[in-house]
Structure 1
Amino acid sequence: MIMTNKKVADLVSDKGILMVLSGPSGVGKGTVCAALRKSTNDLVYSVSATTREPRQGEVDGVNYFFRTKEQFLQMIADDELLEWAEYVGNYYGTPRYFVEEVLASGKDIILEIEVQGALKVKHKFPEGVFTFLLPPSLDELQNRIETRGTESEESIRNRMSVAKAEMRLLEHYDYAIVNDEVEAACRRIQSILVAERCRQERVLHKIKKWMDEV
């Protein structure tokens, strides 16, 4: 019996994919994520929780989940965060419940995060898809940082030293993408999401169900 297109589509797991995108500072994570959000309708951007005060125009649940310090510390105690960190007196973290709700709805979610945070997420959510964004070269990465015009020479040297250390952690990721051109990098990430939805472990349980019904 030949399966219809609908039945073929039904074999794909209806649970979404958590795509974790990280890489060194200056590699263009934010730019790539912004382009992905415009070009990929069903891709949800992960919303972080924070204890800092909302800025003008920011909306709770859209820009951040704004929480008091006491609420945030309780989230830590209750293991409700995939990762968290303290920065300049405020706490930031990735709520597990938001990620799981999006995945349960069948939509994919992308989490843009620095390297150490990504490794924390991998420890708690190993089924995620971890992608490292690389610069075309170290010279190009340094040029991008210098072009910002906001860093001192010492700061640039420090950032480059950290970037080299972070790139040595590439082996902990599933995929590596060179951000030589934003649109090309987006297409590669979209291709990864398509391929991940076709992994046998995401399809197998539905095939077994379908086979039992034939």
Structure 2
Amino acid sequence: MELLSISIIGGGKEQQAFEILKKNAKAVTSVVKKFEDIISAYFTDLDFDRAEKLGRELSRLETAADRGKREFMKVLSEGAFLPAFRADLAWLAERLDTVADTAEGAMRVLLLRKQLMPALIRGEKKNKDLGEWRLGFAKMAKITTQTVQTLEEAIGALSTDISEAARKANDVDLLEHEIDLMEHSLTNELYSFEKLLDPVSTVQLADFIRRLANVSDRAEDTSDTVIILGFTLTG
């Protein structure tokens, strides 16, 4: 029995469009993986120069991902897919783009805060537990990448098995919940170290934790669109 998928409702143009979308999902994952590398360089290695270099690489990857989204939208505008699916697919591409945009925005804010790393180093000299705490950023970033990779798999499965796409989308929700728990833990621990840091650094760290969590939030939003597409297809 043929599995229910988007591939059964289109021809060559639809297949071309979907290949572009899958390629774009992979590009977005590359952006988030680079974001993870930046967080590791910044918070684990305390290497600002490397974080800046990786930041430039991330911006190039985000530009490529944005180009892929525009290419997909162009194919849709040329008539790929029936209108009922076209609108949902366009929304999916837009939501996917916000994942990369959010990662790039968080990266830019982090790298603008040049005094944050010295503040962490000074605080760690007073209490080594702060050093253990900052390693939590890399752990959170790793799960963030895993969340977006799972989203990529969900999008890819739309062309082969809608049920599998829905399962992967639900996995994204579970991973996003894990990120929520990590966000709350990091934030609560931050305020327990408040006396080790200046007020500005404390506020900036709390803000960055929120921005990091936002990447997974946007991935969850996108996975909801995958589920909606499944409902549309199955009627």
TM-score normalised over the length of structure 2: 0.26
Greater share of helix: 2
